[in-house]
Structure 1
Amino acid sequence: MNNDGPVMVIEDDPDDQYLLLEVFKKLGYTNEVLYFFDGQEALDYLKATNITPFLILSDVNMPRLDGFGLRDQIRIDAGLQLRCIPYLLFSTAVNQQMVINAYSLSAQGFFIKQNTMAELEETISIIMEYWRRCAAPNKF
């Protein structure tokens, strides 16, 4: 895990992208935040670069390649697997089957998008701090 790497946000809703942009600015993390409108765009980026993102925060329902499909593509690609990128799903729509699907694809978390800016800030802060303190195989 690369604590200084960029945070990849995969989100097709411009309003949600804007809210997350404001949250990351307010929280003051120095990680660059990269925004992608769908999983295919994010996958293309990952395959075209050797950069190891700090984490991936992905919406579930998106055009072309959804959050589950992207997670599966990362999981089955040996080169991407070795980067040990934490993969978290972030969605307004949630049910038990979605959460089961996420964890069966070895996602490291499934978060529900919060209704207020304060709750969203708290969730992003918790996510960032947790992964900053977490040991990963590629930190050694």
Structure 2
Amino acid sequence: MNKNGPIIIIEDDPDDQFVLEEVFNELGYSNPRMYFADGQTALQYLYQVDERPFIIISDINLPQLNGLELRRKVQTDAELSLKCIPYVYFTTAINHQVVIDAYSTSAQGFFVKPGEFEEIKSTIKVMIDYWKKCAAPNNF
């Protein structure tokens, strides 16, 4: 985990991307943000860069490669798994089976997207502040 690395956000809804960028701007985190509309493009990016991202925030329902499939690929790829990138879901897709499926991929969190801006901001703050304080094997 690179606490100064980019925040990878995988969200296919442009309106949600806009809101998330507003939230990050208001919260003042200095990490650059990289937005991807599908899991396949995000995966290609992760393979192409040497830099370790700080965190991956992923929706579940995505075109081409959904969030669950992407997490499995990141988790099972030796090169990517060594980057120790926290992977959290941030989605409106909520039911018992989806939560079970998400945690079966060893996700580090599952957050339900709130409807109100201030609630989204509060959720993102908790998520990012938690990981900023965590230690990982590759950040010593």
TM over 0.5, shorter chain? yes
| Alpha-carbon distance in 1 for matches of 2:18, 2:97 | 29
Aligned to 1:110: 110
| Alpha-carbon distance in 1 for matches of 2:60, 2:93 | 8
Q: What are the Cα deviations for residues 36-83 of structure 1, in whole angstroms up to 9, with x where unaligned?
A: 000000000000111110000000001100000100000110000000
Q: CA RMSD in A?
A: 0.5
Aligned to 2:39: 39
Q: Give unpaired runs (5+ residues) of structure 2.
A: none
Aligned to 2:125: 125
- Matched-pair identity in %: 54
Aligned to 2:12: 12
| Alpha-carbon distance in 2 for matches of 1:126, 1:133 | 11
Matches within 5 A, 1:34-73: 34-73=34-73
SS at match of 2:57: strand
| Alpha-carbon distance in 1 for matches of 2:101, 2:35 | 24
- 1:6 partner amino acid: P
Aligned to 1:28: 28
- 2:138 partner amino acid: N
Deviation at 1:93, TM superposition (A): 1.7
Matches within 5 A, 1:66-105: 66-105=66-105
| Alpha-carbon distance in 2 for matches of 1:26, 1:76 | 35
TM-score (norm 2): 0.99
Deviation at 1:96, TM superposition (A): 1.0
SS at match of 2:138: helix
Q: What are the Cα deviations for residues 112-132 of structure 1, in whole angstroms up to 9, with x where unaligned?
A: 001101000000000110000
SS at match of 1:24: helix
Aligned residues: 140
